[in-house]
Chain A
Amino acid sequence: MALSPAIPSPHTSNTNSVTAKVKTLNMGGGAAPQNTTSTAGQGQELAEQLNDETKKKYVKDKKIGEGTYAIVYLGHLRADPKSKVAIKKIKVNAEYREGLSLDAIREVKFLQELSHPNIPALYSVFSSKNQNLNLVLEYLPLGDLEQLIRDVDGVRYGSADVKAWMGMLGRAVWFCHENFVLHRDIKPNNLLIAADGEVKLADFGLARSFSDPYRVMTHQVITRWYRPPELLFGARYYSGAVDVWSMGTVFAELIIRTPFLAGNSDVHQLELICQFVGTPNDDNWPGVSKLPDYVPFGKDGSQSYPVRGRDFYLQTFSTVGPVGVDLLMSMLSLDPRKRATAREILNHKWWATDPAPTKKEDLPKKGGGGEARMAEDLKRRAGELEDGRGAKVARILDFSGMK
C-alpha cells in the first residue's frame, strides 16, 4: 500500500510512536515469505514455521477479560519480561467449520489496516492448538469509559475531560471512516484506556468496509442503546452516519453519566428516541416511511413529539455549554443524511472553545476504590443470599468481631 488518504501534514515529523511500537514488539515475527509463487505445500510449511516462531515469542500470564467471543490475557514478550501485551484468544466454536470465526478475521483485518493512536495496535497474530486464533494487542490497562462513567462516587470529571475523551473518539471514528471502515459497535465499554490516558476504540468484531451501491448490509449491528433510528427501522443501505449516532449517545452519556436512551426492546428504543430526540416522519426525515421496518409513531392517538429544540439540550446537557450542545445536536439528527460527518465533527468550533480539552495524562483515571466497589457489585449480583440488602450491610460495615 503506497498511498493513504490521510497523509502526514508537511510540518510534522514522520516518526510515529505507534508504528515504532509495532516495530519493537514485532521483531522479525511478521516477516512475510518473499517468494509469492511458492507452491501451496511449501507456503504452508513456511507459514507453520513462522507461526511457531511468533507463538514462542509471547508468554500468556493471567486472564484479564472475557467477551462474547474471546478471552483476553495479559502477556509479555519472552525476550522482555517487563513488556506487556494483551493476547486476545478467540474462542473456538463448533459452528465455524473452518475453525475460525469471522469476527476474528474482521478484527485482524481492520486492526492491521488501521494504524492510529486512538485504535489499539495489533502487534502480531498466531494460532495455538485447536486452531485457536490469538491476537497480540497493545495492552490497555486502565479499563474502559463505561467504568469511569458508572463510578459516580469514585470518579469526578468535568467538561474539559469530556472534550478530551470525545476528541479521541472523534479521531478514531474519523480515521475509520476516512479509510472506508464502519465500526458498528461504538459504546463506552469498547472505549479502552491506555496507561497514558489515551482512549482507544476497540473491538472491531462487527466492523466492515463501506458497501458498494445496491449491496445490502445487516441492520442488526450496534448495541441497542447506541443504535441509530435508521437501523432500528431496518435500513439495509447506510453509511458512516450510524457510527456518528453512537458517538452522539456516548457524548450524551458522558455528560449525564447514565445511558441517554436505555431502551429495553427495539420498540422501546424507538419510543425513547421519539420522546427525547423527536418522532421521525417524512417531514423531518424524507423517505423514512420507506424503510423496511418503519412503524409510524405518534399516530392513532399516541403522542407525536416534535424534534427537540436547543432549549431542551441546553437544559439537559448544560455542562458542555451552548457550543457543545450544538455539536451534540448535530450528531443526533434523526435523518442520517443531515447528521454531521466525522470530519465535520472534528472541524466543529467546540474544540477551540473554552475550556481546552484536558491533556491525556491529566485525565481522571479509574480508582479511588472503584475497582473494589465493582467487585462488590459483582458479588452482590451473584447473590448467594437472596436478600441483597443484608449482605450489603455486612460488607459495608465489618462485623467480624461479632459472635
Chain B
Amino acid sequence: MSKATARGGVPRRPGDEDDICPVCKSSRYLNPNMRFLVNPECYHKMCESCVDRIFSQGPAPCPVAGCNRTLRKQRFRKQTFEDIQVEREVDIRKRVAKVFNRRQDEFETLDDYNDYLEEVETLTFNLLNGVDVSATESKLTEYATQNASIISRNATLEHQESANLEARQAAEREEARLRREAARKEEEDEKKAREEGRKEVLEQLVHGNKPAADVVKESKRVELLKRRRAQQSRALPALPSGTPSANSNPFTFKGLKSTAAPTPEKPYDPFGGLTDERSYYTLQDYYEHPWLDRARTDTHITAGGYTVTEYCARAMFEAFSGLGVFVGEEVAGRGDLPGGNGAGDAVAAAEAAARAEKGVS
C-alpha cells in the first residue's frame, strides 16, 4: 500500500516522492506543469506524458513492475482524492451504489432497509479488501442484470430528486426575494398615494358629493388618528432615525387584550377566550356611499375577493378608535349597548385596553 499522503494544501518540497513520476522518474522540479493521472483499473499513478506515450496507440499493460493489467487511455483521469486508497474506495462505492440503489420506501420497515444496507456494505467491504473478489463480482453482475429496470428507475428518481432540490431551492430563494420586493413597492406606492391624500380632501370639497362639513370632520378624524399613531410610534423604543414608520400607514392599533387561557376543565373554546363583539357600535350590513358602489359591483374588484364590508368594518373601527381618546365620556353616555353588553363591561374593556396600552408602550 502506498504511503498515505494526506497533506492538503501544504506546498511540497522538490524531490518529494509525490513529485517524481514512478514510471519515467522525471520530476516536477524540472517540469513544473507535470500532472499525475490514475486509471481505476489499478490506481498506479503516472505522469501525463507517460500516459500519452504508452497508451496512445491503444490498450497496453501497466508499466508498473508486477502489475500487468491492461489499461486504456480514455479511462485515465486526475486523482480526486490525494490518498489513492480513498480514491479507490470512493470508486468502488460508486460502482456498488449504482447497482444497489434501492430506496428506503421500497422496504416494509426501517430494519429491513438497514439489513439491506448491511448486506451491500459487506459486499463493498469484500471488494475493497480483496475478499472473495470474483464471487462477489459475479454476485454484483447477476444482481445488476436481474434488477436492471428497477435500478434504472431508481437512478432516474434519484437524479430527478437532486436536480429538483437544487432547482427548487434556487427558485424558492429567488421567489422569496421577488415577494419582498413586490411588498416593498406596494408600500412605497401607498405612501405616495397617502401623501396625495390631502389633495384629495380638497378635490372632494370641490367635486365631491359630501357636504363640506363632513369632509372637514373626516379629515380631522384622520388627523386625530395620525396624532395617536405618532405617539405610538414614539412609544416604540428606539427606532433608528429616518424610519418611515409613523407616516406611512395610518392603521396601527394595538392593545387587543386577550384573557387568561381557559382552565382545562372548560370545553374547548376555538376563540381562546376572546370575543369579537364591539361594544361601541353595531356593524351594519350595508353602508350607503356612492364612492363605494363601484367597489361593490365591479367584477374586476370583487372577483379577487375584495369586500367593501371589510373596509366598512375597518372604517368604523378606526372612527371609534379615534374617539377613544375621550373614552371616559364615550362610556358614560352609553347605557344601552347593543348586543347585551352593559356599560360596566364597556368600562372594563376600556380599562383593560388602557392597561394593555401602558403595558406595551
User: Is A105 in the interface zone, CB < 8 Å from B?
Assistant: yes
Q: Does A194 contact B (CB under 8 A)?
A: no
Give A48 to B188 CA distance when docked, in angstroms: 27
User: What residue in chain A is nearest B97 (Cβ atoms)?
Assistant: A389
- Measured between alpha carbons, how far is A267 from B165 in the docked complex, in Å? 19
Do A102 and B183 touch across chains, with their CB atoms under 8 A apart? yes
Identify B352's interface contact among A8, A116, A206, A381, CB under 8 A.
Answer: A8
- Shortest CB-to-CB span from B124 to chain A, Å, is 8
Q: Which of B121, B230, B261, B268 contacts A167 (CB 8 A)?
A: B268
Task: Return the contact of A9 from the options B259, B292, B311, B360 (Cβ within 8 A).
Answer: B259
Which residues of chain A from 78 to 129 have a CB within 8 Å of any chain B CB? Answer: 98-103, 105-106, 108-109, 112-118, 124-127
Total interface residues in chain A, CB < 8 Å: 132
Enumerate the 4 nearest inter-chain pairs by beta-carbon distance, A residue then B residue, closest first. Answer: A235-B304, A336-B305, A51-B238, A287-B303
C-alpha spacing A253/B309, complex, angstroms: 31
Q: How far is the CA of A397 from the CA of B178 in the complex (A)?
A: 43
Give the contact stretch, choosing among B41-49, B138-146, B208-216, B244-252.
Answer: B244-252
- Assembled-state Cα–Cα distance A214/B135 (Å): 78
Taking CB as reference atom, which chain A residue is nearest B344? A10
Interface-side segment among A15-23, A138-146, A304-312, A314-322: A15-23
**Closest Cβ neighbor of A343 among chain B residues:** B276
Cβ 8 A contact of B349, one of A7, A68, A184: A7
Whether the Cβ atoms of B240 and A131 lie closer than 8 Å is yes
Given contacts A223-B175, A240-B310, contact A19 B360 (CB under 8 A): yes
- Do residues B299 and A286 form an inter-chain contact, with CB atoms below 8 A? yes
Q: List 27 A-B contacts (CB under 8 A).
A: A3-B280, A3-B353, A4-B256, A7-B274, A8-B348, A9-B259, A36-B231, A47-B239, A50-B238, A68-B176, A105-B243, A115-B256, A126-B238, A178-B256, A179-B253, A218-B183, A221-B179, A233-B304, A235-B304, A235-B305, A237-B300, A238-B306, A287-B299, A290-B300, A343-B276, A346-B270, A402-B125
Among B100, B176, B292, B305, find the residue whose CB has the most chain A CB atoms closer than 10 A: B305
- For the complex, what is the distance from the CA of A51 to the CA of B59, rounded to whole Å? 76
- Pick out which of these stretches binds chain A: B9-17, B26-34, B69-77, B88-96: B88-96
B357 to chain A, nearest CB (A): 6
**Count class of interface residues, chain B:** 35 or more
- Would you call B260 an interface residue if the criterion is a C-beta within 8 Å of the partner chain's C-beta atoms? yes
Do A113 and B110 have beta carbons less than 8 Å apart? no
- Select B321's contact among A3, A112, A212, A217, beta carbons within 8 Å: A3
CB-nearest residue of chain A to B314: A180
* A340 contacts B by Cβ under 8 Å: no
Are B273 and A12 neighbours in the complex by a CB distance under 8 Å?
yes
Q: Which of B180, B231, B320, B351 contacts A103 (CB 8 A)?
A: B180
Question: Does more than half of chain A's interface fall in helix, strand or loop, or is it mixed?
Answer: loop
Chain A residues whose C-beta falls within 8 Å of the C-beta of B301 in the assembled complex: 213-214, 237
CA distance A118 to B273 in the complex (A): 13
| Residue among A4, A47, A69, A390 with max Cβ neighbours from chain B (10 Å) | A4
Q: How far, in whole Å, are A170 and B124 apart by their CA atoms in the complex?
A: 53
CB 8 Å contact bits of B331-361 with A (1 = contact, 0 = none)? 0000000000100010011111111110111
The minimal Cβ–Cβ distance linking A80 to chain B, given in whole angstroms, is 18
Docked CA distance A101–B353 (Å): 31
The reply to whether B232 and A396 form a contact with Cβ atoms under 8 Å apart is no
Q: How far is the CA of A60 from the CA of B255 in the complex (A)?
A: 29
Which of B50-58, B60-68, B112-120 is found at the contact surface with chain A? B112-120
Closest to B360 in A: A22
**B79 contacts chain A at the CB level, 8 A cutoff:** no
Which chain B positions have C-beta within 8 A of A17?
260-261
A197-236 CB mask vs B (1 if < 8 Å, else 0) is 0000000011011111111111011111000001001011
A223 to B179, CA, bound (A): 8
